[in-house]
Structure 1
Amino acid sequence: MESELESMREYFKSGKTRSVSWRLSQLKGLLLFIKEKEAEIFEALKKDLGKHPVEAFRDEVGTLIKSINFALKGLKNWMSSEKVKLPKIAVLSSAKLVPQPLGLVLIISSWNFPLGLSLEPLIGAIAAGNTMVLKPSEMAPACSSLLANVMTTYLDTKAIKVIQGGPSIGEQLLQQKWDKIFFTGSALVGRIVMSAAVKHLTPVVLELGGKCPAVVDSFSSSWDKQVAVNRIAVSKFGNCAGQACIAIDYILVEKKFASNLVELMKASIKNMFGDNPRESNTIARIINKHHFLRLKNLLSDLAVQKSVVYGGSMDEENLFIEPTILLDPPLQSEIMTDEIFGPLLPIITLDMVEDSIEFINSKPKALAIYAFTKNEQFKRRIEAETSSGSLVFNDAVIQYAVDTLPFGGIGESGIGRYHGKFSFDTFTHHKAVTTRSFLTDFWFRFPPWNGQKLMLFETVYNFDYLGILLVILGLKRCKRNLDVI
């Protein structure tokens, strides 16, 4: 492994990956792979997660095509140096920010969106001109194999490599020296990644997750209620069966609206997934038996079982869990303390919807907060008084597909951001370059020091250009005692 990585470092040093032509050719190769192998991608996602082709295109194939085209369109502009404005005192000087690739980077992706979460950061790393190693999740073996054995035939394998394997391979990779590590996954593994990065002081991006709340106001309009409920249902259950870091984890709602919300949710689920969701072939499966049993265990507590008001059926052989709604499960239960990452949706009731702000602030900072309300004052309070990676009003998950918004967490939900140009910036060092002319200089920069020079520095740092003139003309003098003991 070490010799292979050293070859990649040497390839980077050759300058090949820095050219705009190389970057464009690799992005086009990635786009060609996605378009030509769409059928194989659908098959792999079906095999690993039971995803319907429409969901696979919406969440992964389509978003990747959009992201690559966005990068192709903006790349030359992103690569351009940016002129920086200097203060007037810096006469005959100029400054600019020069974007440069970091070098050899490591990308470790997750299993729940095995193509999207692998290739979104890869797009940024390629656009920035790096060499890179991608380690896809071993828990999605069909997609991992497709990336390693098919995608690489479209790319420059001297600069881009896919290494398959489980935790032991991941540990070996983390022991190597990288110029950046980009990790998507659980907070538990994120801590391991961050600890390993300390050895070489490697900068990291950690895309984690957590419990993303949805606040639902009591709308007066039946239309608003139905739209909100449909958006909640598709974002929770039609999003890899809730196996997504940005999926709604739980709902906060006023007690007086709770029963109405539950009935609307039931109707929406039936409308989307039918009376027998397991037979509908529309909802994704749980990734493996380990995660199935983890979710099953969340419902094992008797008090939690009593809170189930809809769904709850499971098929262990086919790794299927029915969309399930729980009303007021105990707040100290695991389902309300751990990230759910599955099709279980607790609804927590409050006396007033405004109490949701205090409830949210009592928990670790979320990757996303979703608020369904038309109350402008309440919107302003949520925006000002809560902290999260992103905030979406009246919908959920849509922020992931917006190239002009950064995607990332805060606190325990993650470090760093990407998507669109933010992906390019994540894998780029913006070097500050300043140029001075030999024609001018300021005599007071140099010792020996005196009161007049102190006053000149004070006026310069306060941008007091009249004051500079007065000091030079001797019309303004230093009154401080500059004796140093």
Structure 2
Amino acid sequence: MNKIKNVFNLQKQYFNTHETLSYSFRMDALNKLRISIIKHADNLLEALDKDLGKHQHEAYMTEIGIVLKEISYMEKHLKKLMKRKRVKSPLTDFPSISFIMPHPYGTVLIISPWNYPVNLSLAPLVGAIAAGNTAIIKPSEFSVNTSKAIEELIKDAYEDKYVCVIQGDKEVTQELLENKFNYIFFTGSTNVGKIIMEKASKFLTPVSLELGGKSPVIVDKTANIEVSAKRIAFGKFLNSGQTCIAPDYLLVHEDIKDRLVNGLKKSIEEFYGDKPIDSEHYSTIINEKHFNRLSAYLKNGEIIYGGDISVTKRKIGPTLITPIDNNLPIMTEEIFGPLLPIVTFNDMKEVVDFINNRPNPLALYLFTEDKKIESKVLTECQFGGGCINDTVVHIASDYLPFGGVGESGMGHYHGQSSFKTFTHYKSILKKATWFDLKIRYAPFTKTKSNIIKKFLK
């Protein structure tokens, strides 16, 4: 616990030297992160395999590559992002100029989860560094091997006074939250997010909460069944469904259900073979607790396909299931695993009502070729972000802010939004002294009041 207080104080002191503010310092820091990631890439890939059974291709694509891409974006755009922005001044403030000036918050805390431990630790860090902050990273204690690899990577790149990794369980997180950080960035469950926000409120610390929820997939009659099935299977069973934006349940028009189910089966077998739990391309469940939780969900419905489990490998095969009751846990709790409940519909109004009567999802996916249906869903449903005719890939765009709404989170990041998240924008009005308008000063006369009324309409 002494280390936490010492590192926190070191970072506060270092930030107050103003060394992290310059463009050259930030660019150098970003470059150091890139070099260290590349140097430690093999260690990261090995750790991800040990923790989650991730194939190297998937791990690079969804973890390391995403972070390197984020660094490249920042390096390309940082100078522009750091510039003051001139804005108009009102006539009432003549003579003056006005501008908005970006400035870092200070010392920030990044708390990351176990499901994408590299991506969700280092992608926010890119934004924190680019914005000029110092940072403490608290990775998950569940992805123990990857957390250790991240710590080694960061130690190789930075001194503790600038960026530091602090490991430990929830008690360590609670101890960290007793310090007055200038910003907290949390990725994880909604329940823990509520605790983070409550703790942050003690110091009025601003927060970003990247949470989760039950992200629906809607497939209407006009959808391209073959492509839809492949893209849904990709998004759902990536990392064995342990993805915050994974399709959580499927709403399909009853006229095409059988065709879509057959397409999903075909895609699963193309990706992972006849027995996915034996495939090296198919990830493991993070730990026994989550394995048991997911296994219990299998009793919440009728299994259409899959349902295979391996206790020794800690794997559950891709599973398509018809829920017995929409009030059972499989339809009320975020699944965060390779089980896909399938519900049919006849009318798009039912779909909109079904989604809107539940907590706001982090993502929504719609497969359709009908522009009216597209417009209806996008306009009438509340959700964080998503895709039309695809799943999960919106998270990889540097040009799309990523974040939730309501129960699925608050705040955005990626690309420009990452810089903005870790930046406070100072609004400045600079007034000239060669002229001083007297009408604002007492004593207030009727003439002054009439002039003010004309200006302030």
TM-score, normalization: structure 2? 0.97
Asked if 1:17 is matched to 2:26, the reply is no
Q: Does 1:370 align with 2:369?
A: no
| Aligned counterpart, 1:423 | 418
Give secondary structure in 1 for the equivalent of 2:362: strand
CA RMSD of aligned residues (A): 1.3
Q: Which residue of 2 aligns with 1:229?
A: 229
Q: Which of these residues, 69, 72, 92, is aligned with residue 95 of structure 2? A: 92
Does the residue aligned with 2:31 lie in a helix, a strand or coil? helix
Counterpart position of 1:253: 252
SS at match of 1:150: helix
- TM-superposed deviation, 1:249: 0.2
Q: Distance in 1 between matches of 2:339 and 2:413?
A: 28
Q: Say if 2:31 is the partner of 1:28.
A: yes
Q: Does 1:73 align with 2:68?
A: no
1:455 and 1:357 map into 2 onto residues whose CA distance is 53
Aligned counterpart, 2:268: 269
Q: Check conservation: 1:308, 1:327, Cα contact below 8 A.
A: yes
Q: Which structure 2 segments of 5+ residues have no match?
A: none
Shift of 1:191: 1.0
Summarize the alignment of residues 114-125 of structure 1 with structure 2, pairs less than 5 Å apart.
114-125=117-128
Structure 1 distance, partners of 2:37, 2:151, is 14
- Please name the residue that 1:243 is paired with: 242
Q: Judge which range, 290-299 or 435-444, deviates more.
A: 435-444
Give 1:375-414 correspondences, 5 Å limit: 375-414=370-409
Q: Give the Cα separation in 2 of the matches to 1:89 and 1:451.
A: 18
Task: Verify the 8 A CA contact 2:277 2:309 in the aligned structure 1.
Answer: no
2:195 aligned counterpart, secondary structure: helix
Contact in 1 for aligned 2:37/2:153 (Cα 8 Å): no
- The answer on whether the counterparts of 2:222 and 2:370 sit within 8 Å (CA) in structure 1 is no
Distance 2:154 2:133 in 1: 18
Residue 453 of structure 2, aligned match among 452, 458, 462: 458
What is the distance in 2 between the residues matched to 1:329 and 1:296? 16
Query: CA deviation digits over 1:201-244, x for unaligned, max 9?
Result: 11111100000001101137xxx21111100000101x211101
Unaligned runs of 5+ in 1: 463-485
Maintained 8 Å contact 1:26/1:156: no
**SS of the residue 1:10 aligns to:** helix
**Are the aligned partners of 2:348 and 2:373 in contact in 1 as well (CA < 8 Å)?**
no
Q: Percent identity?
A: 41
The one of 309, 312, 317 aligned to 2:307: 312
- Report the alpha carbon displacement of residue 89 of structure 1 after superposing the two structures with TM: 4.3
The answer for the alignment partner of 1:469 in structure 2 is: none
Q: Which amino acid aligns with 2:25?
A: W
Residue 287 (structure 2) pairs with residue 284 (structure 1) = no
- Structure 2: which amino acid aligns with 1:346? P
1:340 — aligned with what? 335
CA contact under 8 A between 1:99 and 1:429: conserved in structure 2? yes
The AA in structure 1 aligned to 2:342 is I
- Deviation of 1:458 (Å): 1.9
Structure 2 Cα separation of the partners of residues 263 and 391 of structure 1: 24
Distance apart, 1:353 and its partner CA? 3.5
Given that 1:327 and 1:348 are in contact with CA atoms closer than 8 Å, whether structure 2 keeps it comes out as yes
Give the ranges of 4+ consecutive aligned residues of structure 1 lying more than 3 Å apart after TM superposition.
Answer: none
- Cα deviation, residue 328, structure 1: 4.2
> The residue matched to 2:140 in structure 1 has which SS?
coil
1:283-336 deviations in Å (ceiling 9; x for gaps): 1110000000010111234xx2xx210000111121100000012431011000
Q: Which secondary structure state, in structure 2, belongs to the residue aligned with residue 299 of structure 1?
A: helix
Return the match for 2:316 from 315, 318, 321.
321
Q: Is the 8 A contact 1:328 1:349 kept in 2?
A: no
Deviates more, 1:90-99 or 1:240-249: 90-99
| 1:49-79 superposed Cα distances (whole Å, 9 cap, x missing partner) | 0000110111011111111010111111111
DSSP-derived class of the 1:251 partner:
strand
Answer yes or no: is 1:149 the counterpart of 2:144.
Answer: no
- In the alignment, the residues of structure 1 paired with residue 311 and residue 425 of structure 2 have an alpha-carbon distance, to the nearest angstrom, of 51
The equivalences for 1:185-204 within 5 A come to 185-204=188-207
Judging changes above 3 Å, is the alpha-carbon distance between structure 1 residues 4 and 271 closer, same or farther for their aligned structure 2 residues?
A: closer
CA contact (8 A) 1:383 1:391 kept: no
Q: Please state if 1:136 is matched with 2:131.
A: no
Give distance in 2, aligned partners of 1:337 and 1:328: 11
Q: Could you tell me which residue of structure 2 aligns to residue 442 of structure 1? A: 437
| Paired position in structure 2 for 1:213 | 216
Q: Is the 8 A contact 1:99 1:430 kept in 2?
A: yes
- For 1:399, the aligned partner's letter is H
Q: Which amino acid aligns with 1:142?
A: N
Shift of 1:150: 3.1
Q: Following the alignment from structure 1 to structure 2, what is the Cα–Cα distance between the partners of residues 424 and 401?
A: 16
Distance across 2 between alignment mates of 1:88 and 1:198: 39
Residues in 1 aligned to 2:324 and 2:269: alpha-carbon distance in whole angstroms = 23
Tell me which amino acid in the other structure corresponds to 1:260. R
Residue 53 (structure 1) aligned to one of 51, 56, 69: 56
Indicate the SS of the match to 1:300.
Answer: helix
AA partner of residue 297 (structure 1): A
SS at match of 2:248: strand
Q: Give the SS at the match of 1:235.
A: helix
Greater Rg over alpha carbons, structure: 1
- Give the Å deviation of 1:155: 2.1
**What is the alpha-carbon distance in structure 2 between the residues aligned to residue 205 and residue 171 of structure 1?**
17
CA contact 1:354–1:378 (8 Å) conserved in 2? no
Q: Deviations over 1:82-127 (max 9, x none)?
A: 1112234433210111111111110000000000000011001111
Aligned residues: 454
| Contact 1:215–1:353 (CA under 8 A) maintained in structure 2 | no
1:74 alignment partner AA: H
Q: Which amino acid aligns with 1:345?
A: L
Answer yes or no: is the 8 Å Cα contact 2:107–2:134 preserved in 1: yes
After TM superposition, the score normalised by the length of structure 1 is: 0.91
Measured in 2, the distance between the counterparts of 1:291 and 1:391 equals 26
